[in-house]
Structure 1
Amino acid sequence: MSLADRLRRLSPERLQGMRRGIEKESLRAKPSGALALTPHPAALGSPLTHPRITTDYCESQLELITGVHGSVQACLDELTEIHQFVVRELADPCCGAGDERLWVGSMPCGLPPDETIPIGSYGRSNIGRAKSVYRMGLGHRYGRRMQTISGIHYNWSLPGLSNDEYFALIRNFRRHAFVLLTLFGASPALCPSFVAGRDHGLQRLSDSTLYLPHATSLRMGRLGYQSEAQSQLAVSYNSLDGYADSLHDAMTQPYPAYEKIGVRNLGGEYNQLSTALLQIENEFYGTIRPKRVIKSGERPLHALRERGVEYVEVRCMDLDPFVPVGIAAPTMRFIDVFLLHCLLHESPPDTPEEIAALGRNQHRTAAFGREPGLELERDGAMVPLLDWAAELLEQCVPIAAALDAAGRGNEHTAALAAARAALDQPATLPSARALATIERDFDKSYTGFIRAQAEQTRNHLMGLPWSLAQQAGFEVMARESLQRHAALEAADTVDFETFRLAYLDADQLAV
């Protein structure tokens, strides 16, 4: 069946049932551009139990989470509102954080020595301690600096899809994700503190900036979310069962290098949750994940196996430093079109050879995506990146038109047209714009550029209308999260080691 035939089978009602949500990470930074080392501000609530404001890896890395929305604009409006509350609290001297900014770049601000980057703290409850110990494990395994990278996760669903259809989408997404890295990658440069003491292969733009001249997303390249240990995992996305079995093995079989670290140190403090290749499901890195909302205490893999895929989580989007909340409406609409293309396009099974080639394509695009004539691997042959991308975008034209017809507008067609124009003019891509601005306006300083954008973002958000009712609503959420946090700590009935062993029991991963 052709792509056009598959598209015709999607009714306007199903297309209108598309849902999306955003999880957006940002470091808290000092006005100087250094990492803020203050605790998570109490005025923002408990990062363990707040539904909209939490932390990711380190104590200084905020994660802002929208609900699930039926329109791009509604999702963006909520994300903006959460940002408004956060920047106001960070600017409030009574907040406890002091005068701090949200760092608007994916690559981090000025970092202190690795061991002094503060790991997220979630309190004394067993589940809170487990979150902190997991992050301690990430620090031992990959270094704390790698965990300060920030990005946007785009959660997406379409009603009526089967597990097989979601996995077909995922396979095609992995094949074609280079398009998103090329169009929306925005991290071609970084502060040298991120790679201090490491072999990095970057070029020196100035004393304060390292870069690659044609990079799109250093975040998604070899210096970003990569793991030599995990590279041994050739996880297949041909079925839910195969995917689940791969993760099950990775979370239950000891890994020699991590056995040397040990679960606890000689003083009895926890180094990590387990000595397996993966401590928990979220440790598995990837450009996209199948996901399911879990019940309290439930393992994500068990939820997937028992009730199937509910949505996919796109994980390869950089923060756009030119956009106040890190992602723009046209970008979101393009992702919607792109994901539909991945769903509707023919999706043959993957193979270990293809999986390896896709990894090489990702690294090439991240490091050299704007290099004239760059070629990627496709079906055993080399093809120009721009030709392949243009072919895919051409196939997206009827998909954008169908979405516009269902919504009675033209926003998706406009977003696709903008993407096609950007491919034709690589100097307009976010990675190229960021690098040109760094060189032209900020004395070749990555930190200077992002500091200025962070200040501009803060002023923009502070200048938007903000009502007493909005402020009160977020204050209620913060208070209620602190109450739930306290209740969790009071409800524990077993010691942490008993809790850890029960949570990691292999039976918790089965159906």
Structure 2
Amino acid sequence: MTNQQFKSTLQALSLPANRSAIVGIKRGIERETLRITEQGRLSAKQHAAALGSPLTHPSITTDFSEALLEFITPAQSDAELTIKQLEDIHKFTLAHIGDEILWPISMPCFIKHQDEIALAQYGTSNTAQMKTLYREGLKNRYGSMMQAIAGVHFNISLPESFWQTLQTIRQNTQPKQAFISDSYLGVIRNFKRNLWLISYLFGASPALCSSFLQGRDTKLPFEAFGKGSLYLPYGTALRLGDLGYTNSAQSALNVTYNNLDQYISGLKSAITTESDLYRNIGTYPDGRLKQLNHNILQIENEFYSPIRPKRNTAPGEKPTEALARGGIEYIEVRALDVNPFSPVGISLEQVYFLDVFITYCALMPSPDMSTQQQQETQENLSAVVNAGRDPELCLVQDGQSISLKQWGQTLFTDLRAVARYLDDAHNETHYVAVIESLQKAIADPEQTYSGQYMQQVLNSGLDNGHFVFELAKQYKANFAASDYSVYSEAEFEQMAQESDQQRLQIEQSDTLDFNAFLADYFKA
């Protein structure tokens, strides 16, 4: 019945009168990358002044550490333009960080000790100090090494015309925004059900430098190569596994995606409930704070989830307040490894696939998920992270064992139908072409990103780190030899200057001391 509903909905959307409703998908990309020295070590330099202020720059900022850059593209509907914008941001940045290069994979380079990882600095304003103290809290809760991992966040919204047409087809009588919010939550639930496929296809962190495991016990069946590299023979995305960007303390959080009020309530509970684990993190000997507070989550951003519902916030507004005010505006996919085969960490192929995948998740019926069902999706993800390229791997679907290959082929049958609908709507052929290309990886695991990556690394005879370092140098040389295609050098220089002016204005407008500012923020 579920599949029949999907087919009838897709058939109705494909009618000439409805077909163009899907045109206008908007996307924005946030790509993280470490700055590395010409010796292949983590940079100890401050954020380059020529890049402007990371507090206020619209396109170039930092994440956890001073060395972890984050590049941001504006939300818009031209996928090719988005990739070109990302390329220009990389070109400008590389031209203004001296001899440094950008690390082109998710797992970090050789780091002797986590104390080498300097926290990001944003200036002297209360907002800037809060951002750094939040990172201090992450360091003291989970260690800095986990925060040195990079990823790609993919923001996507389906056009309002699509939701209006879908609401009519489904004969739904809710207020428009309530329908859109509920539908996006349905997308999220279906995304989580099928999240393993993203890790299988695009996971690109099957190997790591052994320095990453400093003092950490693991029972994973690592194999060694080179002088200090480890890999899982069938692994796909260590970044998404127990060694990666996860938080076991959050596994007990009761954050569900069945309705917006429950989601907001679950997050609010986490940011207002004291944690037994973090209550004992005191202050430094000089009295400085080690974290924003003792709660399960210091702020909402600390919630580690592969996908999040989002709405653009007004000044001073918290993410859950924005959601409560206006409902869900877009979703943020956080499950992508940095793509080592793309100089900007993500390819047009992936963007088109995600268009198809998210649209599929919107069209397929999406019943509520129990806590147990959410746990099942997490176990499937873990299985694929650690052994996704094992030809015999089985997953669990609705409590029943199913081979990855069988489930994958069924999914791709539906994805191909969605791709055909998207191609017809856009008068294109690239959606079906991408689906046909990626489907080959279901039958042949070596065609996945992780499979291709390990083939190239092992064939090179190099350590993982040396292989990646050579790749990074090549990307830098390529950017130096290329021309800007969207922005110009002068535009980036102006953005940098304006961001510095905005940072200064924020610093000059502060009226409270930092402790009073924090108290006021959390009181609100």
Same fold (TM over 0.5): yes
**Aligned sequence identity (%):** 39
What residue number does 1:241 align with? 261
Amino acid at match of 2:80: Q
User: Is the 1:163–1:240 Cα contact (8 Å) retained in structure 2?
Assistant: yes
Tell me the distance in 1 between the aligned counterparts of 2:466 and 2:121.
Answer: 30
Please name the residue that 2:177 is paired with. Answer: none
Native 8 Å contact 1:28 1:62 kept in 2 = yes
Residue 174 (structure 2) aligns with: none
Asked if residue 72 in structure 1 is aligned to residue 72 in structure 2, the reply is: no
CA contact (8 A) 2:200 2:388 kept: yes
Measure the CA separation in 1 of the matches of 2:141 and 2:381. 22
What does residue 367 of structure 1 align with?
A: 386
Q: For residue 183 of structure 2, what is the aligned residue in structure 1?
A: 165
The CA distance in 1 between the partners of 2:409 and 2:293, in whole Å, is 45
Q: Which of 241, 249, 259 is the aligned partner of 2:279?
A: 259
2:43 aligned residue (22, 36, 41): 36
Query: What's the counterpart of residue 3 of structure 1?
Result: 6
Displacement after TM superposition at 1:368 (Å): 0.6
Residue 507 of structure 2 is aligned to residue 492 of structure 1: no
Q: What letter corresponds to residue 464 of structure 1 in structure 2?
A: S
Matched, 1:457 2:475: yes
Question: What's the secondary structure of 1:90's corresponding residue?
Answer: coil
Tell me the secondary structure at the aligned position of residue 306 of structure 1. Answer: helix
Equivalent-residue separation in structure 2 for 1:233 and 1:468 (angstroms): 43
CA distance in structure 2 between the aligned counterparts of 1:85 and 1:277, rounded to whole angstroms? 39
Distance in 1 between residues matched to 2:256 and 2:484, nearest whole Å = 47
Note closer, same or farther for the CA distance 1:270–1:447 as it changes in structure 2 (3 Å cut).
same
Which stretch shifts more, 5-14 or 366-375? 5-14
Tell me what 1:141 maps to: 141
Identify which range, 100-109 or 25-34, moves more after superposition. Answer: 25-34
Amino acid at match of 1:178: W
- Per the TM alignment, residue 189 of structure 1 is displaced from its structure 2 partner at its CA by 0.2
For 2:5, the aligned partner's letter is S
Q: Secondary structure at the match of 1:23?
A: strand
Aligned pairs for 1:97-116 within 5 A = 99-116=99-116
What is the Cα deviation at residue 282 of structure 1? 0.9
Alignment correspondent of 1:16: 23
Matched, 1:82 2:100: no
Deviation at 1:421?
1.4
* 3-state SS, counterpart of residue 391 of structure 2: coil
CA distance in 1, matches of 2:393, 2:416: 25
Q: Distance in 2 between matches of 1:321 and 1:425?
A: 20
Q: Deviations over 1:109-135 (max 9, x none)?
A: 111311231011011100000000000
Write the letter of the residue equivalent to 1:228.
S
Offset at residue 220 of structure 1 (A): 0.6
Distance 1:234 1:217 in 2: 26
1:317 to 326, 336, 339: 336
CA–CA distance in structure 2, aligned partners of residues 9 and 489 of structure 1: 55
Matched position secondary structure for 1:386: helix
**Cα displacement string for residues 224-250 of structure 1 (whole angstroms, at most 9, x for unaligned residues):** 011121111142110111111110100
Correspondence 1:448 to 2:466: yes
**What's the counterpart of residue 212 of structure 2?**
194
> In the TM superposition, what whole-angstrom CA distance separates every residue of 1:183-217 from its partner, at most 9, and x where no partner exists?
11111000111111111333323431011010000
What is the CA-CA distance between 1:387 and the residue it aligns to? 1.2
CA drift of 1:12 comes to 3.3
2:232 corresponds, among 196, 212, 216, to 212
Q: Structure 2: which amino acid aligns with 1:5?
A: S
Q: Is the 8 A contact 1:14 1:158 kept in 2?
A: no
Q: For the residues of structure 2 that align with 1:436 and 1:494, how far apart are their CA atoms?
A: 56
The alpha carbon displacement at 1:9 in A equals: 4.5
In structure 1, the residue corresponding to 2:278 is in which secondary structure?
helix
State the partner residue of 1:203.
Answer: 223
Kept in 2, the 8 Å contact 1:442–1:448? The answer is no
Structure 2 residue 296 is matched with structure 1 residue 293? no
1:224 equivalenced with 2:244 (yes/no):
yes
Q: Which runs of 5+ in 2 are unaligned?
A: 164-179
- Measured after TM superposition, the shift of residue 7 of structure 1 is 2.4
Q: 2-side partners of 1:136 and 1:468: how far apart?
A: 37
Distance 1:286 1:84 in 2: 31
Letter in 1 for 2:444: Q
1:264-319 per-position Cα deviation (integer Å, ceiling 9, x unaligned): 33422121111110011110001100011111111111101111111000001111
**Could you tell me how far apart the structure 1 residues matched to 2:492 and 2:472 are?**
23
**Contact 2:85 / 2:486 at 8 angstroms: preserved in 1?**
no
- Distance in 1 (CA, whole Å) between partners of 2:30 and 2:489 is 21
Paired residue type of 1:334: F
Q: Is the 8 A contact 2:88 2:485 kept in 1?
A: no
DSSP-derived class of the 2:389 partner: coil
Partner of 1:269: 288
Contact between 1:186 and 1:321, CA under 8 Å: does it hold in 2?
yes
Aligned partners of 1:55 and 1:120 also within 8 Å: yes
Q: 1:187 to 1:467 in 2, by over 3 A?
A: closer
Of 191, 196, 221, the match for 1:178:
196
Deviations along 1:75-96, one digit per CA (max 9) or x if unpaired, are: 11111111111111123xxxxx
Q: Per the alignment, in what secondary structure is the counterpart of residue 29 of structure 2? A: strand
Displacement after TM superposition at 1:373 (Å): 1.0
In the TM superposition, what is the alpha-carbon distance from 1:33 to its structure 2 partner?
1.6
Classify the secondary structure of the residue corresponding to 1:346: coil
Equivalent pairs, count:
497
Q: Deviations over 1:411-462 (max 9, x none)?
A: 101111111112222212111111111111133x110111011011111111
C-alpha distance in structure 2 between counterparts of 1:279 and 1:25, whole Å: 22
What is the deviation of 1:467?
8.1
The amino acid of 2:112's aligned partner reads P
One-letter code aligned to 1:68: A
Stretch deviating more after TM superposition (323-332 or 109-118)? 109-118
**Residue type matched to 1:76 in 2?**
I
Q: 8 Å contact 2:85–2:487 — kept in the other structure?
A: no
- Give 3-state SS (helix, strand or coil) of 2:279's partner: helix
Number of the residue aligned with 1:95 = none
Alpha-carbon offset, residue 255 of structure 1: 0.3
Q: 1: distance between equivalents of 2:93 and 2:8?
A: 46
Q: Which residue of 2 aligns with 1:336?
A: 355
1:437 and 2:456 matched? yes
Structure 2 counterpart of 1:113, which letter? Answer: H
Give 1:96's aligned residue.
none
SS class of match (2:155): strand
Residue of structure 2 equivalent to 1:45:
52
Query: 1:46 is aligned with what amino acid?
Result: S
Q: Matched residues in 2 for 1:9 and 1:284: separation?
A: 38
Distance in 1 (alpha carbons) for counterparts of 2:315 and 2:487: 31
Match of 2:419 in 1: 400
